[in-house]
């Protein structure tokens, strides 16, 4: 009898894996590959973050779930990927959160210029009620929001002339992300905004189809933009939260235990990516100071820049709804007051 019980227990233990999360998975279940599409390449904090996410998912699921990363726009531009997520042909993605404004207009608030003063402020707001409220709008559009890593603060580079004052932007063709707020903001600063998918930026700069672009510091050397740009101005005019999202069709096929693994992995990868982002941006600035002419705008010029974009903020406040925008700014103010 004891022998039979031992055999039975051995069979049970052989068919399941108990992980550190306390979640039980079938070891006999076929491993499932989840495709994750993104625009950036290895070397960026964002790519490091999704690699961490993939490793965590595999470890926490005992190998029953694996994430395969397709970087550099291999599965299409961000807007194309959103459609693929909705259709269930791609399971996961990481992109600028504001690009989801086509699904829920409120995401456009994340493109508001000078919304955040620093990374800690941005992290606290995005991980709080505002970030959750935005994510809650996605499931009805076929998307599940998981976590907000960061792209970081953007700066302006170009190959025409140093930008030492706002007026120096006049007439420069600057590539911007494909969102209405960003286009209007750059035009308000006097430049000619040119929206382009990220994978097209290097060629556009090299062929002089555009004069410059806006990017976080680390992106510039990783994508070799410093090879086709001469001048960099540290404007910190916009902070871009990224977002890890999943196809709701794929999410709904997961067991509750698997959903827990995906969510926990996304949260841990977010925190890891933010740390990497801070380190890599600092290193990138030192590198770029040796390659480009770097300008830091005076407080007076920054104030002029903020003044020029006020009409853009007012326009989109009306479009998004004043109550929601006031709620966002109130949350930012609360975080600043807590310092």
- Residue range 173-199, pLDDT digits in tens: 999 988 899 999 999 999 999 999 888
pLDDT at 281 over 80: yes
Question: What pLDDT, on a 0 to 100 scale, did the predictor assign at position 31?
Answer: 63
Question: What pLDDT, on a 0 to 100 scale, did the predictor assign at position 105?
Answer: 95
As to burial, measured by CB atoms within 10 angstroms (0-12 exposed, 13-18 middle, 19+ buried), residue 271 is middle
Q: Give the CATH fold of the 31-337 domain.
A: D-Maltodextrin-Binding Protein; domain 2 (3.40.190)
pLDDT at 24 over 80: no
Rounded CA separation 229/161 (Å): 10
pTM: 0.85
Question: What pLDDT, on a 0 to 100 scale, did the predictor assign at position 39?
Answer: 92
As to burial, measured by CB atoms within 10 angstroms (0-12 exposed, 13-18 middle, 19+ buried), residue 129 is exposed
Query: For the segment 297-318, what is each residue's pLDDT rounded down to a tens digit?
Result: 999 999 999 999 999 999 999 9
Rounded CA separation 274/285 (Å): 17
Question: What pLDDT, on a 0 to 100 scale, did the predictor assign at position 29?
Answer: 42
pLDDT at 139 over 70: yes
Domain boundaries, the chain: 31-337
Structure-block tokens of residue 282: 């600092």
CA dihedral sign of residues 261, 267, 270, 274:
negative
Contacts of 240 (CB under 8 A, 6+ apart): 96, 97, 98, 110, 150, 151, 152, 153, 154, 177, 216
pLDDT at 330 over 70: yes
Query: For the segment 227-267, what is each residue's pLDDT rounded down to a tens digit?
Result: 999 999 999 999 999 999 999 999 999 999 999 999 999 99
Contacts of 152 (CB under 8 A, 6+ apart): 45, 119, 216, 217, 218, 239, 240, 277, 281
Rounded CA separation 63/38 (Å): 22
The three-point CA angle 183-212-305 to 5° equals 55
pLDDT band at residue 339 under the 50/70/90 scheme: low
Point out the least confidently predicted range of 167-171, 191-195, 219-223, 288-292. 219-223
């Amino acid at each position: 009898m004891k022998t039979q019980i031992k055999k039975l227990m051995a069979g049970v233990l052989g068919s399941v894996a108990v992980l550190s999360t306390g979640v039980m998975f079938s070891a006999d279940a076929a491993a499932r590959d989840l495709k994750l599409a993104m625009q950036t390449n290895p070397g960026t904090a964002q790519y490091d973050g999704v690699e961490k996410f993939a490793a965590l998912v595999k470890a926490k699921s005992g190998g029953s779930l694996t994430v395969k990363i397709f970087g550099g726009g291999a599965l299409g531009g961000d807007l194309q990927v959103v459609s693929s997520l909705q259709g269930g042909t791609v399971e996961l993605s990481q992109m600028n959160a504001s690009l989801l404004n086509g699904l829920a207009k409120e995401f456009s608030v994340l493109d508001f210029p000078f919304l955040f003063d620093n990374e800690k402020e941005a992290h606290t707001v995005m991980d709080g009620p505002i970030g959750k409220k935005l994510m809650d709008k996605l499931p009805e559009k076929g998307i599940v929001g998981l976590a907000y890593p960061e792209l970081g603060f953007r700066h302006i580079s170009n190959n025409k002339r140093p930008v030492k004052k706002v007026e120096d932007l006049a007439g420069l063709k600057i590539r911007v992300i494909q969102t209405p707020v960003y286009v209007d903001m750059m035009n308000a600063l006097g430049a000619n905004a040119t929206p382009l998918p990220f994978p097209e930026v290097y060629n556009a700069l090299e062929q002089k189809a555009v004069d410059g672009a806006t990017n976080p510091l680390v992106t510039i050397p990783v994508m070799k933009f410093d090879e086709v740009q001469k001048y960099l101005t540290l404007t910190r005019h916009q902070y871009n939260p990224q977002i890890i999202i999943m196809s709701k069709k794929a999410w709904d096929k997961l067991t509750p235990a698997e959903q827990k693994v995906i969510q926990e992995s996304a949260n841990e990868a977010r925190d890891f990516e933010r740390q990497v982002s801070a380190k890599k941006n600092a290193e990138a600035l030192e590198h770029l100071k040796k390659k480009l002419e770097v300008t830091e705008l005076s407080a007076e010029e920054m104030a002029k820049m903020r003044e020029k974009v006020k009409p853009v903020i007012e326009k989109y406040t009306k479009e998004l709804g004043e109550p929601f925008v006031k709620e966002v700014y109130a949350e930012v103010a609360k975080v600043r007051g807590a310092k």
